[in-house]
Amino acid sequence: MEWDENLSVGVESMDSDHKELFKKIKELVYAINQHTCKYKIDDVIKFLEDYAKNHFAMEENFMKECGYPEYRQHKAEHRKFIATFSELKSELLKIKASGKYDGSYELSVTTDQVLVDWLLDHIAKVDRKLAKFLNDRVRKTNRLTSL
Ligand SMILES: [Fe+2]
Ligand SMILES: [Fe+2]
């Protein structure tokens, strides 16, 4: 699985975060294939927690600044991701509390599926739509040079 330019949305700060997420997915897949995911899943969940907080806040600020008409729908998808992420995290905590890491394989595979779906459903479609709006806006007003 390699970064596909079709996944680029065309706003640099968004793309660089998305690439970071992509890299993390690759690390997780590698660990699953190497049967070392029980050592990796902790790092992935921790990464996702910070990532979701910071990345979603950035996109939501862009939307607010520009008066993006689909702000509410887009933000609702972010919230949904955070809810799914919370389930993954509590599963990990359960596994850690039990001291039995047998469940970490299943959790790693589920996490991978969630992230790949997110890449294809949210980033490639919903984020792309936002990025297009932002770029059009920059062209029109030439004001959002900080993007
Ligand atoms: Fe995004
Ligand atoms: Fe988004």
Query: What is the spatial distance between Cα 14 and Cα 8, in angstroms, rounded to a whole number?
Result: 9
Query: What is the spatial distance between Cα 85 and Cα 71, in angstroms, rounded to a whole number?
Result: 21
7 within domain boundaries: no
- Which pLDDT does position 102 carry in this prediction? 81
Which pLDDT tens digit goes with each residue over 45-77?
A: 999 999 999 999 999 999 999 999 999 999 999
Contact status, residue 62 vs residue 74, Cβ threshold 8 Å: no
- How much is the pTM? 0.91
Mean pLDDT (the chain) is: 93
3 within domain boundaries: no
What's the rounded mean pLDDT across residues 2-19? 92
- In this structure, what CATH number is given to the domain that contains residue 103? 1.20.120.50
Query: What is the spatial distance between Cα 66 and Cα 63, in angstroms, rounded to a whole number?
Result: 5
Q: Which ligand is nearest to the CA of 9?
A: 1
pLDDT at 9 over 70: yes
105 within domain boundaries: yes
Number of domains comprising the chain? 1
More confident of the two residues 129 and 99: 129
One-letter amino acid of 10 = G
Q: Which ligand is nearest to the CA of 22?
A: 1
Question: How remote is the CA of residue 93 from the centroid of ligand 1, in Å?
Answer: 26
Question: How remote is the CA of residue 95 from the centroid of ligand 1, in Å?
Answer: 29
135 within domain boundaries: yes
Domain that holds residue 77: 12-140
88 within domain boundaries: yes
DSSP alpha helix (H) spans, 1-147: 12-33, 37-66, 71-98, 104-118, 128-141
- Which pLDDT does position 147 carry in this prediction? 55
| Residue 46: closest CA among 109, 13, 93, 104 | 93
40 within domain boundaries: yes
